[in-house]
Amino acid sequence: MRKMVMGLLVAGSILTVGMVPIGVKVLADTTTAAQADGVGGMRGRNGPLANFIRAQVGRLITLRSELDLTDAQKEQLKAIVKSHKAEIMAAIKPVIEKRRALNDAILAETTDEKAIRAAADDLGHAIGDLSVLAARIKQEAAVVLTADQKQKLSDFRQQVEKSIDQMMDKIGSEPK
């Protein structure tokens, strides 16, 4: 499960900065490995979250082909990500650590609202740091993409947001 979650986190972060081809590879490899290990509970599940994740992976794969990146663009995007690898890892590590701390606070023997809120605030700050880095990298990546490719990415993000809303509506409308 940790491999799959990490893969989703990394792929989501990469997608945020427009590195879809690399993100799809990370996500596909990680999800496949997690399923092969019997980890993650994806196989045989048809709940809204499992269906949502499968649909997003399918959309990423479709988007990857629709972007029709040239070999030169792929190399430039890989170089941009590689040049920020240390920063990306340094920003992801606190997110993982802070998420674990929040989880520990939630699962503690006794409920300590202040500890939970403090851990949530710490996680939010770490996510903010990662988001700022993603925005900076996105600016670098944007110059590599054509206007049409940027529009396809924008459309994709809108579709993802719509899918999230639909998933939440479905979960909210399920009988108790």
Question: pLDDT tens digits for 38-90?
Answer: 444 444 467 777 777 888 888 888 888 889 999 999 999 999 999 999 999 99
What six digits make up the tokens of 125? 């700050």
Task: Report the C-alpha gap between 77 and 75 in whole angstroms.
Answer: 5
Higher pLDDT, 19 or 148: 148
Minimal CA–CA distance to 13: which of 4, 21, 23, 5?
23
| pLDDT, tens digit (0-9, with 9 covering 90-100), for 140-169 | 999 999 999 999 999 999 998 998 898 888
Tokens of 159: 């579709």
Contact 146, 69 (CB under 8 A): no
Amino acid at 103: N
pTM for the model: 0.66
Residue with tokens 């893969």: 7
Q: What is the per-residue DSSP string for 47-89?
A: SHHHHHHHHHHHHHHHHHHHH---HHHHHHHHHHHHHTHHHHH
Contact (CB, 8 A) for 98 and 122:
yes
Q: Which amino acid is at 82?
A: K
What is residue 12's predicted lDDT score, i.e. its pLDDT? 53
C-alpha dist (Å) from residue 9 to 2, 5, 130, 160: 10, 6, 11, 15
Summarised one tens digit per residue, pLDDT across range 105-137 is: 999 999 999 999 999 999 999 999 999 999 999
Compute the Cα dihedral for 87, 140, 24, 172 and give only its sign: positive
Q: Residue 133: its pLDDT value, please?
A: 97
